[in-house]
A and B are shown apart, each in its own frame.
Chain A
């Protein structure tokens, strides 16, 4: 009996060691891999930040082949992403990292890349059907977005709560709608009982339109104390509108924003708190993931884990938002206020 127990224990240990080894899976640095980072389009700050993070990872992994940062123009995003993916396949690169703006229309091109042995990793925005994609590096969990926004509202309005409105991007932006729905879901919690959501309006991610929508909210709801804008365009427009109208003392702004664009409004109290994930980290983690898959150190399957440099260990799981998809969840949010926004804005 004792022997049996010992043997079992030894076996268990062996299994756990094996498991431990697998968990420690680390890509061997220094391999020359041609890798392409493909944003939705060029010329947008968050994508440049992701590029910066990917370059940092490339340097750490000592990949002698320079990272290619290729993207279409905004007007040509769909056809351009397909064209770049196809040309990268022709060139036989090792990995393509796509922030997908083409829905499932990218599938044939992505599949062709996979058939040629190219690692296809999506980030920021996945392939809806998950076909042609190895794994999606997700910035945050959609339901977490709702909780983070509800928490910020509570923190700004205080224990006594208050009334607020949402200034969103467009009525048909899938991610925005998911976040707003998640926030409404979170608001049902007892903790947020004193928060009252007045209205949801849309500024279509246009500065002028968002600015006017914010002012219209003030006119419509004199007792509103907060505008929550889960869009980096809307939040700046709302904060600017409140500042221009000298309303920052009575109506605060919060939501999802880029630190460098929000710095002034956070420091002068118009937008005391806002949140965002780090696009630098997202780019870094995406590169680490793609490199590990391309070198064979990481298999794109459920339960596989690997060490992503300075960001630590990550495990591939099923993506709860897509039936057939796999994801690596980066998280968590960074919440910015007076104390940390300056450092983040640099």
Chain B
């Protein structure tokens, strides 16, 4: 089976899974199809799925960014810290975004120019950026933001659709175009497939990697700020642990953890599968560890099934020849 064929069948599998989950949800809960619930379904995880979009590029590129959740927390804390010192909110937002950009470029520098593995660099970032965030706000929550800021996170913008959901949709389109029909997108795949070959063929690997990590930091910061607006208050532990959910979404979307393959359609389907599954379980009052285990089992399958399919098909081909 060709790589393309396998990918297609993976998306087919996700689509089938999605149909089953949606059918079960409709069958199970009269509230599921309510407009309010569908909006909440996205809204409750909106920051994670925004970051999952850029994470898709990073992983296809053969790297990983474990620091995204800490960058989300850092941006929110920088914003809250600036605001508390009397900075006008729009400037505080810019400050938060710049902090994210700086954190991302810092990660990128060590990966692209020094050649350290991104797993180690961004693990350090996960710890370090969280540390800075906690120092900035210490142990007291910061709230009482201007009303308009909270409304950005909580109020509908177009019909029942919130600002965050609109931003997600726009980013989805932009990243889809970048990945699948731009020069940068092709480079992302080429580098992810074979770093050495990419280097020897004169591709500006460093520039691509710096761009991706910078974008990852900035988009994570944007997500962190939207999270602050949604909750109306900032604490040092904001978004802690989100990186695992984000990476789960990307891997379940069929993106190879080794880089070089995967596409945004798969990640989009994966987002719908996980969000609908979570929402359905929530409405069926399944929470806590049970919910975590179900999603964990799904991820294990997403890693095992393609690998097993590969192994089996290899053996089969081997027997034929």
User: Which residues does A use to contact B, with CB under 8 Å?
Assistant: 41-43, 68, 70-73, 75-76, 78-80, 82-84, 86-87, 90-92, 102-105, 107-108, 128-129, 172, 174
Asked, given contacts A82-B231, A91-B283, whether A103 binds B141 with beta carbons under 8 Å apart, the answer is: yes
User: Which residues does B use to contact A, with CB under 8 Å?
Assistant: 29, 31, 34, 36-37, 40, 44, 138-139, 141, 143, 150, 153-154, 230-233, 235, 237-238, 241-242, 278-279, 282-283, 285, 287-289, 292
Query: Are A108 and B237 in contact (CB-based, < 8 A)?
Result: no
Asked, given contacts A104-B141, A172-B139, whether A84 binds B232 with beta carbons under 8 Å apart, the answer is: no
With beta carbons under 8 angstroms apart, the residue of B31, B44, B141, B292 that contacts A73 is B292
Instruction: Give the chain A neighbours of B292 by CB distance below 8 A.
Output: 73, 76
> In the assembly, what is the distance between CA of A41 and CA of B235, in Å?
18
Query: Are A73 and B289 in contact (CB-based, < 8 A)?
Result: yes
Within the complex, the shortest CB–CB distance from A194 to chain B, in Å, comes to 35
Q: 5 shortest A-B CB distances, which residue pairs?
A: A172-B139, A87-B282, A105-B231, A104-B233, A42-B288
Query: Are B143 and A104 in contact (CB-based, < 8 A)?
Result: yes
16 additional A-B residue pairs with CB within 8 Å, beyond A108-B231, A108-B232: A42-B288, A43-B288, A70-B285, A70-B287, A72-B288, A73-B288, A76-B292, A82-B44, A86-B44, A91-B29, A91-B283, A104-B233, A105-B232, A128-B141, A129-B143, A172-B139
Closest-by-CB residue of A relative to B142 is A104
Query: Are B36 and A90 in contact (CB-based, < 8 A)?
Result: yes
> In the assembly, what is the distance between CA of A107 and CA of B232, in Å?
8
Query: Are A103 and B288 in contact (CB-based, < 8 A)?
Result: no
Closest-by-CB residue of A relative to B287 is A70
Within the complex, the shortest CB–CB distance from B29 to chain A, in Å, comes to 8
Asked, given contacts A103-B141, A105-B232, whether A84 binds B36 with beta carbons under 8 Å apart, the answer is: no
Query: Are B288 and A41 in contact (CB-based, < 8 A)?
Result: yes
Query: Are A90 and B143 in contact (CB-based, < 8 A)?
Result: no
Query: Are A90 and B34 in contact (CB-based, < 8 A)?
Result: yes
Which interface residue of A82, A86, A107, A128 has the most chain B CB atoms within 10 A? A86
Within the complex, the shortest CB–CB distance from A28 to chain B, in Å, comes to 26
Asked, given contacts A73-B289, A90-B31, A90-B34, whether A103 binds B44 with beta carbons under 8 Å apart, the answer is: no
Asked, given contacts A41-B288, A90-B31, A172-B139, whether A104 binds B283 with beta carbons under 8 Å apart, the answer is: no
Closest-by-CB residue of A relative to B36 is A90
Which interface residue of A75, A82, A105 has the most chain B CB atoms within 10 A? A105
> In the assembly, what is the distance between CA of A78 and CA of B236, in Å?
12
Which interface residue of B143, B231, B235, B283 has the most chain A CB atoms within 10 A? B231
Query: Are B141 and A91 in contact (CB-based, < 8 A)?
Result: no
With beta carbons under 8 angstroms apart, the residue of A42, A70, A105, A172 that contacts B233 is A105
Instruction: Give the chain B neighbours of A68 by CB distance below 8 A.
Output: 285
> In the assembly, what is the distance between CA of A76 and CA of B239, in Å?
9
Asked, given contacts A82-B44, A128-B141, A172-B139, whether A87 binds B283 with beta carbons under 8 Å apart, the answer is: yes
> In the assembly, what is the distance between CA of A107 and CA of B230, in Å?
10
Query: Are A83 and B288 in contact (CB-based, < 8 A)?
Result: no
Query: Are B44 and A80 in contact (CB-based, < 8 A)?
Result: no
Query: Are B235 and A105 in contact (CB-based, < 8 A)?
Result: yes
> In the assembly, what is the distance between CA of A322 and CA of B289, in Å?
33
Instruction: Give the chain A neighbours of B237 by CB distance below 8 A.
Output: 78
